[in-house]
Amino acid sequence: MPANRKNSQQWFERSQQSLVEGVNSPSRGAAVYSPGPVFLERGEGSHVWDADGNEYVDFLMSFGALIHGHAHPKLVEVVSQTMAQGSHFAAATSAEVEAAERLQRMVPSAKVVRFANSGSEATMLALRLARAHTGRTKFLKFEGHYHGWYDPYLLNAHSHAPEMLGPPENPTRMPDSEGIPSATFADVVLAPWNDVAALERVMQQHGRELAAVITEPIMANMGCILPHDGYLQRLRTLTQDCGALLILDEVVTGFRYAPGGCQEYYGITPDISTFGKALGAGFPVGAVAGPRSILDRMRWSDHMVLHYGTFNGHRLTMKVVAANLDLLSADGAYKKLHGVGDAAISGLREVFRRRKITAIVQGFGPMFQIYFTERDAIHDYRDYCTYADTHLYSRFVHRLLELGIYMTPSNGLHWIISTAHTEKDVAALIEAADQACAALE
Ligand SMILES: Cc1ncc(COP(=O)(O)O)c(C=O)c1O
């Protein structure tokens, strides 16, 4: 641990006595941060401070949840006013109506909305709805896509050594977790992403038995991998032809690339959309949205799709969601997210070029990732597993942490721009990246 992180080190030692690995998710602990995590204590705008008082520019932003940065004054005001009146009633409230109406306005495919408490809950519900709606049980997921920690989604969501992957037309099936009955995966069809020919093959073989195909529109859990031109559109047509629903998992991309997320950006209309992260601006929330014909299956009856939850439509969260979506609907919010992000991307590319570091920066605007690779692009899971030097990336980010840039050393995540980031933050990143490159040479 660097000398200026004594308090973080002490907290980490103490946390071992009460928390598994000292954290609440392995991605926050020593499996990623070596020799242990930075303990964060305070955040304001785009900056965070750790337990030793060190200041950082934050580019992780709670894995993308903090679309307006930390402690946005409007959200602080909404939270304190709402809290003074009671945080949650588990009853019908005007707050949940106002949040849903705003979501509907921003996402045209959202004819009706159901709120849950996390992205994982939203994707769980989406699959149950799709199965009930179609009367089919199987579904297709893509290699390297992560949709939360629900049992059937935990197949090939982690990266593996390339020799373990098997052929693309018949991928080796690798569960990501113990404790899941193997029968669960009998209903999962697995396919490579971003490859139209492979998709046509698998849909021809399995399409008519699929309740749904679930996809991230931009692959955000192997860094940041963009869909090839026309890929999502082809997926839309093929699913329609087979009577399988298209679940667009916009937990990462929703409210980030455009008011209507990637479905607006790429011009596709899914059957079911799932949201989380940026929707809550730092509060835990998930949402499922789509047409009445599908979501109305949750209406009370002997044959309903069950979705309960004490904290669904949590009043405090719903007030934050409404205020957050108002902020995002204000003029210039997306222009700023894209402008600042694009400046960071081109600045980083220039640093790597000048320093003669073989690295690419992939993505655009509000979200991107750096890959240390000889390739000119990472197109899919197999490219990521084969060509991205994740160890070098981790070394690079550990150095950035010492230079006042907060980011996860995991190459599978991505850099996040919030509306709180400024040109000055980008300049700090470029300067730190330049120094970190010098350490890699
Ligand atoms: C694409 C995608 N879907 C779903 C989830 C699950 O969301 P949560 O962590 O809020 O349960 C994630 C989380 O990172 C995600 O990246």
| d(C-alpha 294, C-alpha 112), whole Å | 10
Q: Cis before residue 152, ω within 30 degrees of 0?
A: no
Residue 418: the pLDDT is: 98
Q: In whole angstroms, how large is the CA radius of gyration of the chain? A: 21
Using a 6 Å cutoff on CB, does residue 276 contact ligand 1? Answer: yes
pLDDT digits (tens, 9 = 90+) for 378-433: 999 999 999 999 999 999 999 999 999 999 999 999 999 999 999 999 999 999 99
- Dihedral of CA atoms 217, 220, 226, 227 in degrees, nearest 10, equals -30
Rounded distance between C-alpha atoms, residue 309 and residue 82, angstroms: 21
Q: Ligand 1: distance of its center to the CA of 316 in Å?
A: 21
0.85 surpassed by pTM: yes
DSSP sequence for 104-153 = HHH-TT-SEEEEESSHHHHHHHHHHHHHHHHS--EEEEETT----S-GGG
Packing angle, helices 315-329 and 94-106, rounded to 10: 30
Task: For residues 441 and 431, give the distance between their C-alpha atoms in angstroms, rounded to a whole number.
Answer: 16
Is the pLDDT assigned to residue 440 strictly greater than 90?
no
Question: Is the minimum distance from the CB of 118 to ligand 1 under 6 angstroms?
Answer: yes
Choose which residue among 28, 117, 123, 214 to substitute to test ligand 1 binding: the one with the highest number of ligand atoms within 8 A of its C-beta: 123
**206 touches 138 (CB < 8 A):** yes
> What count of Cα atoms within 13 Å lies in the side-chain half-sphere of residue 378?
33
Sequence-distant (6+) residues with CB within 8 A of 160 are: 174, 385
Ligand 1 pocket member 251 (CB < 6 A): yes
- Ligand 1 site, residue 123, Cβ cutoff 6 A: yes
First to last CA, the chain: 22
C-alpha 363/C-alpha 237 separation (Å) is 25
59's CB contacts (< 8 A; 6+ apart) are 405, 406, 407, 415, 416, 417, 421, 429
Element (H, E) at 214: strand 210-215
Q: Is the CB of 408 under 6 A from ligand 1?
A: no
Task: Report the C-alpha gap between 169 and 413 in whole angstroms.
Answer: 26
Q: Flag whether pLDDT at 125 surpasses 90.
A: yes
Centre of ligand 1 to C-alpha 325, Å, is 19
pLDDT, one tens digit per residue, over 324-362 is 999 999 999 999 999 999 999 999 999 999 999 999 999
* Whether the predicted pLDDT of 2 surpasses 90: no
Contacts of residue 107, Cβ cutoff 8 Å, sequence gap at least 6? 254, 259, 260, 261, 263, 264, 273, 289
Hunting for tokens 């869909």 — which residue is that? 227
| Most ligand 1 atoms within 8 A of CB, residue of 67, 252, 263, 381 to mutate | 252
pLDDT for residue 209: 98
Q: Kindly report, residue by residue over 35-91, the tens digit of the pLDDT.
A: 999 999 999 999 999 999 999 999 999 999 999 999 999 999 999 999 999 999 999
Q: Note whether 236 and 269 are within 8 A (CB).
A: yes
Ligand 1 near 263 CB (within 6 A): no
Q: Which helix (H) or strand (E) holds 74?
A: helix 73-84
Residue 216, ligand 1, Cβ within 6 A: yes
> What is the C-alpha to C-alpha distance for residues 119 and 128, in angstroms, rounded to an integer?
15
Side-chain-side CA neighbours of 13 within 13 Å: the count stands at: 6
If pLDDT is split at 50, 70 and 90, which confidence band does 1 have? confident
Give the SS3 label for residue 66: coil
What ligand 1 atom has the least distance to the C-alpha of 64?
14
Cα(126) to ligand 1 centroid in Å equals 13
- Known catalytic residues? 146, 249, 277
- Cα of 85 from ligand 1 centre, angstroms: 31
The residue among 189, 277, 203, 283 whose CA lies nearest residue 236 is: 203
**Residues 415 and 400 sit within 8 Å (Cβ to Cβ):** no
Which ligand 1 atom is the nearest neighbour of the CA of 63? 14
Closest CA to 37 of 410, 422, 411: 410
| pLDDT score at 108 | 97
Q: How far is CA 372 from the centre of its chain?
A: 21
| For ligand 1, mutation pick of 120, 367, 413 (most atoms within 8 Å of CB) | 120
Two tokens, residue 210: 């699929």
Ligand 1 pocket, 147 CB below 6 A? yes
Quick check: 95 pLDDT over 90? yes
Q: Does residue 244 come out as left (phi exceeding 0), alpha (psi in the -120 to 50 range) or beta?
A: beta
Backbone angles phi, psi at 413, to 5 degrees: -95, -155
| Mean pLDDT, residues 178-188 taken together | 98
DSSP class of 281: T
